[in-house]
Amino acid sequence: MVQQQRPVQSSLSPSPLSYSLISNRPISLLSRNGLLLVLALLLLGVFLPWTGSPFFPFPNRSSSSFPSNWRDYSLDQAAKFTAKDGTVIVCAVSYPFMPFLNNWLISVSRQKHQDKVLVIAEDYATLYKVNKKWPGHAVLIPPALDSQTAQYFGSPGFFNFTSRRPQHLLQILELGYNVMYNDVDMVWLQDPFQQLEGSHDAYFTDDRTNIKPLNHSHNLPHPDRNGVTYICSCMIFLRPTNGAKLLMKTWIEELKSGSKAYEGNDQPAFNWSLNKTAHQVDLYLLSQAAFPTGGLYFKNETWVNETKGKHVIIHNNYIVGFKNKMKRFRDFGLWLVDDHALESPLGKLEPQHLLQILELGYNVMYNDVDMVWLQDPFPYLESSHDVYFTDDKTAETSNICSCTIFLRPTNGSKLLMKKWIEKLQAQPWSKSKKGNDQPAFNWALEQTAHQVDVYLLSQAAFPTGGLYFRNMTWVKETKGKHVIIHSNYIVGFKNKMKRFRDFGLWLVDDHAPKSPLGKFTKIQKTSSSKYRKTRKTGT
């Protein structure tokens, strides 16, 4: 096992850092701007015994029908791929809103409608991020929102953006699908499809905070005394009828003709198009108790108590600012990202994917990306055990780490993955462990102890960060034996980066050309406070 320690240069793993908004394990942190950023978990090195060329297949679904670059994925293709039972659920998201997308998706998954979701990505970062985690579920309809434009809410460029929404919806209707549109600052508490009574053309919600009787009319509300109606364009359901298409066309027309007045908000135009088409389109106003505006739900506890059990989708509007929205969701127990990350289609990673790769007959090595290779780990995979893993032990704790795992495509390792998946789905830890998959992995190892041939990798070769970065005596004693270093036992993205730097393990600065990704472009600092929700946040 003992090998000479070579200089830090050999197997530099791709993508040393990557942002992800999925808190799969407790390395999540708040950045300077309060944006939830997490080190991505990345599958590294899928080793093909026959060709030796590493690549990552997406074995599920008809991946062959996807274009080689997601840029070339069209709305038609994407709608066809995601439509289930003739229905597509769409949202439109820019990168800073990824945490909200994730939160919304978890709530949609809990109602078992996630397979129908199509994310209309407003920028390439979102397109690639979503499709990497969840192939085929994001599409970008050019032009992309550039970061300049994104910051100037209300600018003509921004307006160009929101004004495209009815066009996308119309296009999906023309393909013959039902389409539900949601803003992503929403949370589903129940299945909204149960509320789509009858066979009307278009279903929408009222953003007014006035409390209506439970049996309120489902007709288009009349303008109030001041001539104002507050229809929300945040949640819309459309059937592929002539009426719904006419409504979309009218909305597009309204946006074009009134673009100045609307100042980047597509909602007044939607409101006017409802008024104009009211006699030709079969409209249905959804129940206030089921689809309350944030101005009511978050502000009147008496009403919330009175209508308990009736709430279906909660909209986090009537509040300005990214951080405030997030805080409010947290305060009301609607921030699911903390405790239910593993229920998100964007969050599920390891065991399912690893099992799929095993089923294809490949060996697979899994690594967290907050690791650095100092030596080739493959010589350490002695003899032919099913599963190789590492210990996260320091003086105080003893736990198995799910951070480095090597699996051979054997019945034993498949069984272990199946147990792991089973345990994750049962999620007994979700309350206390915040979406950490590690206890489940430990449990699965225990359960399969007599059936799976497991091999604990050497501590000196695969030390936990709790040891390597903290006990210099030990590090000296074991010099030359270290193979993969894990920057765990520390919280915070910046702290991890700084520690790697301090220990000469931040290779990005000096060895960037050795990365298959080339020089890592400067990490974009997204200032959440610059982004405002695109509409009616404070009315």
Per-residue exposure over 240-272, b if at least 16 CB sit within 10 Å of its own CB, e if not = bbebbbbbbebbbebbeeeeeebebbbbbbbbb
Beta pairing class for 87-93 and 46-47: unpaired
Give the N- to C-terminal CA distance of the chain in Å, as an integer.
Answer: 67
Query: Rounded to 5 degrees, what angle do the CA atoms 179, 182, 185 make?
Result: 170
> Do the beta carbons of residue 391 and residue 400 sit within 8 Å?
yes
**Count of C-beta atoms within a 10 Å radius of residue 521:** 7
Partner residues linked to 188 by β-bridges: 313
The CA-atom distances, in angstroms, between 158 and each of 142, 152, 266 are: 14, 7, 11
Which string of DSSP letters, residue by residue, matches 500-520? HHHTT--THHHHGGGSTT-SP
Q: Which of 156, 176, 504, 538 binds ligand NAG (CB under 6 A)?
A: 156
- Which span sits near ligand NAG by CB under 6 A: 282-290, 297-305, 426-434, 519-527? 297-305
* DSSP state at residue 106: H
Residues between 487 and 506 with contacts to ligand NAG, criterion CB under 6 A: none
How far apart CA 66 and CA 51 sit, in angstroms, is 23
> Do the beta carbons of residue 26 and residue 368 sit within 8 Å?
no
- Which span sits near ligand NAG by CB under 6 A: 238-246, 303-311, 355-363, 494-502? 303-311
Shortest Å, Cβ 280 to ligand NAG: 11
When asked if residue 306 is in the footprint of ligand NAG (CB under 6 A), the reply is yes
When asked if residue 271 is in the footprint of ligand NAG (CB under 6 A), the reply is yes
When asked if residue 261 is in the footprint of ligand NAG (CB under 6 A), the reply is no
Shortest Å, Cβ 35 to ligand NAG: 26
Q: Residues in contact with ligand NAG, total (CB under 6 A)?
A: 30
Q: Which of 459, 471, 515, 527 binds ligand NAG (CB under 6 A)?
A: 471
Q: Which of 301, 384, 509, 516 binds ligand NAG (CB under 6 A)?
A: 301
Would you state the structure tokens that stand for residue 20, as one six-digit string? 């992800």
Shortest Å, Cβ 483 to ligand NAG: 18
Shortest Å, Cβ 14 to ligand NAG: 33
When asked if residue 278 is in the footprint of ligand NAG (CB under 6 A), the reply is yes
Shortest Å, Cβ 167 to ligand NAG: 11
Fill in the amino acid letter for 166. Answer: P
Binding mask 215-254 for ligand NAG (x = CB under 6 A): x-x--x-xx---xxx-------------------------
Residues between 90 and 119 with contacts to ligand NAG, criterion CB under 6 A: none
Q: Which of 302, 383, 384, 432 binds ligand NAG (CB under 6 A)?
A: 302
Catalog residues that contact ligand NAG under the rule CB under 6 A.
156-157, 160, 211, 213, 215, 217, 220, 222-223, 227-229, 268, 271-272, 275, 278, 300-303, 305-306, 395, 411, 471, 473-474, 477
